Structure 1
Amino acid sequence: MRRALSGAGGPLIGLIVLFVLLSIFAPNFLTARNLINVVDQVTVLGILALGATAVIITGGIDLSVGAVLALSTMVLGVLSHTAGAPLWLAMIAAVAVGGLAGMVNGLAVSIARLPPFIATLAMMSAARGLANLLTDGQQITGYPEWFFDLSSQRYLGLFSITAIALVVLYVIGWAWLKYRASGRAVYAVGGNPEVARLAGIKVKSVVTWVYVAAGVLAGLAALVQASRLDSSQPSAGTGIELDVIAAVVIGGASLAGGSGRVVGTIIGVLIIGVLHNGLNLLGVSSFVQQIIIGVVIAGAVLTDTLRRRRT
């Protein structure tokens, strides 16, 4: 049991307990329609959290994912609606912009040696400003039906293309971190950068590409967000970085670096999604929900701190 709790077992038990409590107290929680809705709601959060998992394993942090998402979704809208570019080309450009923002973050951390908090905080401000500047703060609406169907059309009556994409991304992320040498290098850098360097690992390169991956995933999350809302909004992703960090930490990753699991992250994402959904069904104010999420983050970090002290 202790070994299970040190991995993904603890978060899984927490998810089961939360699920049971909400099934009892929250009306209509345990219905197929609501559970499918929960999966749809966590898709964007899940994609962002996957990138944040690798960043946090290296001992970094990325506060810019929400703003980069907003910038990418506005690039999508401006190119497809204003510039007249084909939507498929605008989609590629949106993901590329996310990757570019991630590269700036990575180079600022690895080459300029800025603290990750400062580097990504600066990107958060810049990306949010650019997102608003592109359309003077106005949203863009009206995408083709096939694009909207990516998140609304059900297959086998259950999952949309975007939900299936989330599963595929997590399988790829899990396999990369577990079986690829470059994935294992992420853990080495997070555990001890100097030892990793002496072992022949290109620490700066690993750190840079981890942030690039987080940016690319933010661009993909932007496509999902635009598909779900059938619009591009410069305010998209506001505050979601807190839920992203909470999901990763709840899933067992350490903010000190060196540990974290993709399986734990998806459980953390589900905990955040189920918690938000259940509180909405119970009629809890959004302001109170922010307080609860803050307490959950503090509790997860405290648990991680106590676990590392025991180790």
Structure 2
Amino acid sequence: MMSTDASPVLSVRDLTVTYRTDSGPVTAVERLSFDVAPGETLGIVGESGSGKSAATMAIMGLLPRNATARGSVLFGGRELLDLSDRELRAVRGNRIAVVFQDALAALNPMMTIGAQVAEAVSVHDASQGRRALRERTVDLLDLVGIASPRDRVDQYPHELSGGMRQRVMIAMGIANDPALLIADEPTTALDVTVQAQVLDVIERVQDRTDTAVLLITHDLGVVAGIADRVMVMYCGRKLEESPVDALFHHPAHPYTTGLLGALPRIDRRAARLVQIPGQPPLPTERPTGCPFQPRCTHAVPAVCGEVDPAPLAVDTTHTTACVRFHEIESVTR
């Protein structure tokens, strides 16, 4: 549950990520701003190439050498973009942790899971002895719902199911009680039952530790089940941000409406799913004005193709980057 603490754990302002390529500079994230409060889960949704992972890598200080980040990323009042590599290493895995989507690739096949979880603890706290580390590891595996944790600590990744490996990744992520947990597509390639179990683990851990969670996903169903707020990204831009219920019941951007129309619903009957026309533009061929306007059925080229959309307040907790929002709303209601 989200804390009543007014100070955000993470405050991102005007984050812009640019890659140097043979074809010239390519902007992957453009003027992105958002906050995450203690105990809150913010879901970031968008198609592949929308800038979700690039923003995450910028926050973690893990961008490749051909990329630069500008703007501000305040974590606990500290500017992460100004930290040295050494200072960032002290933050990563300690105060900020990340859970990636491919647990089998992320885990070392030559080490037991107990050794890997223990390493996540000891790299930031070398004072604990071997016995204390083992007990801490058993406690962490128990916390994330792994049965018989004392037996599992001596097993290798290939001996565990996909869902159990993902739980191990979560255990490693929360090993040092981080203030922020970034979950990058944590349920991809898992069946729906295991997905629900993994999300339940994240929620239980969050309830116990008051950790803020940044959930990166393309699956609106995952967002509906766990997020407090949702931010919709497209072409590196934030198009909409709102509480999760408002987004599903009263979307304020045509792109969000299109995503929801393509989502199967069990609470209503529909003749067919809605398809968003066209394809996202290449990073080197982004349109002027609203990035979604070439695919938008409500677009007026003279307006949407010329005006750079700034966030428009739908209400005190809901924003949209659609300059024609009020006109579209009056027609669609």
What is the TM-score normalised by the length of structure 2? 0.24
Q: Higher strand fraction: Structure 1 or Structure 2? A: 2
Q: Higher helix fraction: Structure 1 or Structure 2? A: 1
What is the TM-score normalised by the length of structure 1? 0.25
